[in-house]
Amino acid sequence: MRGSRWDGRRETGDGRREVLHSVINVQMIGRILFGAALGVSVAAGAQGPTVSKVEPPNWWGNSSVNPVRVLVRGANLAGATLECGRLACSNVVVNARGTYAFVDVTIPRDAATGAAPLTLRTAGGAATVPFSITPRLAGHGRFQGFGTEDVMYLLMPDRFANGDPANDDPAVSRGLLDRSKGRYYHGGDLAGVRQRLPYLKSLGITTIWMNPIYDNNNELNHKETYDNLPVTDYHGYGATDFYAVDEHLGDMATFKQLVDDAHAHGIKIVLDMVANHTGPYHPWVEDAPTATWFHGTAASHPNNTWQTWTLADPYSTPAMRQATLDGWFINILPDLNQDDPEVARYIVQNTLWWVGMSGMDGIRQDTWPYVPRTFWRDWMTAIKDEYPSLRVVGEVFDGDPSMIAFFEGGRRQWDGVDDRVDLLFDFPLFYPIRNAFAKGGPIRELAQMLSRDHLYRDPNNLITFLGLHDVSRFTSEPGATPEGLKLAFTFLGTARGTPLIYYGDEIALPGGNDPDNRREFPGGWSGDARSGFEASGRSADEQDLWSHLQKVLAVRAGRQELRTGTTEHLLVTDQVYVYRRGHTIVAINNGSAETTVTIPATALPADALGICAARRAADGGVAVTIPRRSGCIF
C-alpha cells in the first residue's frame, strides 16, 4: 500500500483527457489500417461503432485460459455482434451506455501467431477490433519463482537510476518531472535498472522486486493533495491503464529486455501488482464496464475503515467485514469488485498477460487483506495452472503474527478458504528488528517473536526485512548507527525466511517517512556528485557497511543450511542472542559492552566475518568473546 497519510480535497475531471486522446489516436490508426487491409466498411454515420481500447490486446494459443475474455472500449457499441475470422467469438455482452463490449474469444490450440483482428458490427456499421496471437516465450530460465534460496532487493524504478534521459519528461505527460519535489517524477527508469544489474549481482542480490510499472496518470493528481498541492503518481500505484508500462519508465519491450538481461545475470524479477483498486483517474471511474465493476462510484462509495482484524475474526459478520473489503482507500482509490465475474476474469488475465509478455518470475501483490479470499484462491489457482513455478508474495501489513498466519497459504481457515498465497512479508519481525538494532532495545524480542513461528504452517515462507518503501528508513530511527545496521544485516542474512534489502539501505541512505524514504540512489543520475554504485564513491562508513552486507550474503549463498536449515535457539539474554542453523552458529551481542558467552559445542570453526575469537572453555563448551554491538557467524 502507499500509506495512510493521504488527504484528497479537490477533484478535477480532466486529469485523463490526454491519456484517452493518445490511446484513441493510436487505436484509430490501427483500426483504419486493419479496416483497409480487411476491406471492412466503416459506417460514415454518427452512430457507427468506434473502438478505443482492447484488453488484452493479444493472447497465446495453448493457454490454460481459453476462451480469453476480451474487453473492448469504444462508442456506439449497443447491439454489437462480433465476427472473429480464424478465432471463435461468443458470449457478447455490451454495457447499457454502449461503451464497453465483452466477448469470449476462443483460440485454436495450434493457432498461428500474428494479427487476428475481430470485426465488431452494429446496426450503425462496423469497426475492427485489433487483436493478435503472440508467440509463447520459452519456459526455460523464465517464470522461475523465488524464495529462501534468494536475496531480494526492492527498488522504486523512478528513484533508482536514470538510464534514459529521453523519457524523463515525456510529451504525453509533460510537466510531472521535478527532482526537487518528493512527490514528482525524478527520471529513474527500467533502462537504469538494467544498467545496474552488475552492481546488484556484485552485492549478492538474486531477485529484484520493483514497485508497479503500470501506466499512471499523465497529469497532476489533484484528488490526493498534500498541503493543498497536487502530486504525481510516480510510485506507480495509481494505474490508469493495466495493459501498459508508464512512459516515464519505458515500455513492454524495455521491461522484457530487463527481465532477459536480469536472467542472464542470474537475477530474477518480481513485479508489484495491484488488484484491489485503480488510480483515481482510471477511465473506468467515469464510465465503468459493468454496473458492479467498483464498490460504488466516485460520488457514492464506502470509505475504507482499515479494520483488517475483522477479516480474521471468526465472530465477525459479513456486514462488519464489508467496510474493509469494499471501502475505497483514503476515500479516493476506486475499489474493484472482484465478486463481479467480469472483474475477476479481467484481473486474472491481466496478471497472466504481464507474466507471459515478459518472462518475469514472481509477483508482489499489494493490499492482500482488502480483497475477498475466495478471489485470491481462484487467482492463485489460475497462476499456478499457467506458470506452476511462479511465486507470489502478498502484502499483509500487520505486526501481529496471528494475522499473518491467518492469511498464510496452504491451509483452510475458519472461512473454509485457502488463499494459496506462496509467501508473506514478516512485518511481525520487522518491528523488533528496528527496536533492537536501530534503537538499541532488547534483542531478546527477536527470539520471542520467532517463538511465535508455531503459528505458521511454514515460517520459511516469510520475507524478512529491516525497511521498505512504506516505512521510514532504518537510519531515521532515534539511536540508529552504522554498527546497528550491520547487525541487522547479519541477522537478516542468517535467519529463516528470505531476506529483502530496500534499495539504498546497503549504503545507509537517509530518509524519514514517505516520500523522504524514496530518495534517489546517489550516482543513478548523470551529473550526480558521487556514485554509491562504486566503491570509490562511497564514504568509509558506507563502504564498511556495503562490504559487510556483501560478506554476509556471500556466507549465506555458500551455506545451504542458512537458506533452508532448521533454527535452534542456544542462548538468549536481554542483549545476546545465539542461534544455530544446521551446523552454523550465529552469535550477536546487541549490548554496549563486550561480552563472553559459553556456547554448548565441542568446537567452532573460524568466524566467517573475522570478528570473534572462540576458545575451548573449562566447562566443556566453547567460550566466545563478542565485541560490543557485533555479530559473528561460526
Residues that bind Ca ion (CB under 5 A): 162, 164, 167-168, 173, 187, 189, 215, 218, 246, 276, 335, 370
Which residue number, 251 or 260, has a Cβ lying nearer to Ca ion? 251
CB of 347 to Ca ion, least distance (A): 12
Which residue number, 335 or 483, has a Cβ lying nearer to Ca ion? 335
Q: What single-letter DSSP state applies at residue 449?
A: H
Which residue number, 248 or 486, has a Cβ lying nearer to Ca ion? 248
Strand intervals (E) in 123-179: 125-129, 132-133, 152-155
Among residues 437, 486, 273, 277, the alpha carbon closest in space to that of 365 is found at: 273
CB of 234 to Ca ion, least distance (A): 10
Cα–Cα distance list, 279 to 15, 30, 55, 106, 157 (Å): 11, 27, 17, 31, 18
Rg (CA), the chain: 26
Which residue number, 421 or 555, has a Cβ lying nearer to Ca ion? 421
Are the CB atoms for 101 and 93 separated by under 8 Å? Answer: yes
The 3-class secondary structure across 469-503, one letter per residue, is: CCCCCHHHCCCCCHHHHHHHHHHHHHCCCEEEEEC
* Cα 241 to Cα 53: distance, rounded to the nearest angstrom: 10
Which residue number, 193 or 495, has a Cβ lying nearer to Ca ion? 193
Which residue number, 16 or 469, has a Cβ lying nearer to Ca ion? 16
Among residues 321, 283, 288, the alpha carbon closest in space to that of 302 is found at: 321
Q: What single-letter DSSP state applies at residue 28?
A: H
Which residue number, 215 or 378, has a Cβ lying nearer to Ca ion? 215
φ, ψ of residue 419 in degrees (nearest 5)? -75, -10
* Cα 423 to Cα 505: distance, rounded to the nearest angstrom: 23
CB of 303 to Ca ion, least distance (A): 12
Which residue number, 245 or 495, has a Cβ lying nearer to Ca ion? 245
CB of 276 to Ca ion, least distance (A): 5
Which residue number, 167 or 494, has a Cβ lying nearer to Ca ion? 167
CB of 188 to Ca ion, least distance (A): 6
CB of 295 to Ca ion, least distance (A): 7
**Cα torsion through 531, 262, 206, 509, rounded to 10:** 20
CB of 309 to Ca ion, least distance (A): 16
Look at the block and give the residue holding cell 534489502: 501
* Cα 63 to Cα 492: distance, rounded to the nearest angstrom: 39
CB of 246 to Ca ion, least distance (A): 5
CB of 159 to Ca ion, least distance (A): 11
Q: C-alpha cell of 387?
A: 506458470
Which residues are 599's β-sheet partners?
622
Neighbours of 306 (CB within 10 A): 16
Which residue number, 302 or 600, has a Cβ lying nearer to Ca ion? 302
21 CB-near residues (< 8 Å, 6+ apart): none
Cα–Cα distance list, 62 to 105, 110, 135, 386, 388 (Å): 13, 7, 10, 10, 15
CB of 338 to Ca ion, least distance (A): 7
